[in-house]
Structure 1
Amino acid sequence: MPDLLCSLVHLPDIEPFLRSLRLQTIFLRRPNPWEKEKVRGFVKGNWSSNWAQEVDVAFSKQPISCFIATKEDDIVGFSAYECTRRGFFGPMGVLPEHRKKGIGTALLLAGLMGLQDLGYVYGIIGAAGPVDFYHRTCGAVPITLNNGRGIYGLKEEPRFMRQSKKDTRTE
């Protein structure tokens, strides 16, 4: 799964998506600090412990760099940003029975707006599964690095991968 690059300069308006969700009694918000275990459990139980660990990082930020979508008192989706690396969006997930309602779009836009609030003009969507969704929603395009596997396939810290000037010279 490739990393994607997304401009944060002209994001779609989130308000129509939020209005549509409200009509379905689905609400988007940042979780409260005391909901960390609930959110972490939701992510781990429906996706993976790796994603749950990334959500832990979101709770170490101020404000929390995570959004949840709720219906009644139940979490039905989440998105996080600035967890894996600076400027990165993800992970994100919506329960299968709640997909195709605009929840993922709203969670994506909320997270990208969070990156925008931090001063970024571009965001990276890490290891993007539904590439077409991200391209349609926010114009994200693949970054060609490491045979399309992005940072997750690197064996070495990126700053240590620089070639020395001697290595790049042609003789």
Structure 2
Amino acid sequence: MSVAAKICGLNEATAVRTAVAGGARFVGFVFYPPSPRAVTPEQARALAALVPPEVKKVGLFVDADDAAVAAAVAAAKLNMLQLHGDETPVRVMELKRRTGLAAMKVLKIGEAVDLDAAAAYRNVADWLMFDARPPKGMIGALPGGNAVTFDWTLLAGRDWPLPWMLAGGL
């Protein structure tokens, strides 16, 4: 198994340069306005220009509409979508078809049963990402990026149908 790092939530040029210099194979731009790390398509365009071709540019979206996704993809010349909301398998397929890009579907994990959702994305997503489900009652909780972990041993011994990444409190 090979390990690749994706650094997400980059919204400053210094952060992009540091991630690239540190060996990140993926850099992520958040297109979710409630996030403190969100960028506009125009900001992402400038940041994406700092990313060398061998590093994949990923756009993080949360239940975004087609126009928002299209604007971000065009501005930042994204290589991949990271879908962090309640996107169904059908919606993931629609976005892949509309953009021509690979898609990473994020699954929010709190307990073992949450991992069962991976099966629905087997023939749809190109990657899976396992992130911690925000704790109930967490003030200011976002769909991800809350610096919260889940019990990573839940992933052990499973044969995942797709390449996957781990997120949450790393």
TM-score (norm 2): 0.28
Higher helix fraction (1 or 2): 1
Larger Rg: 1
TM-score (norm 1): 0.28
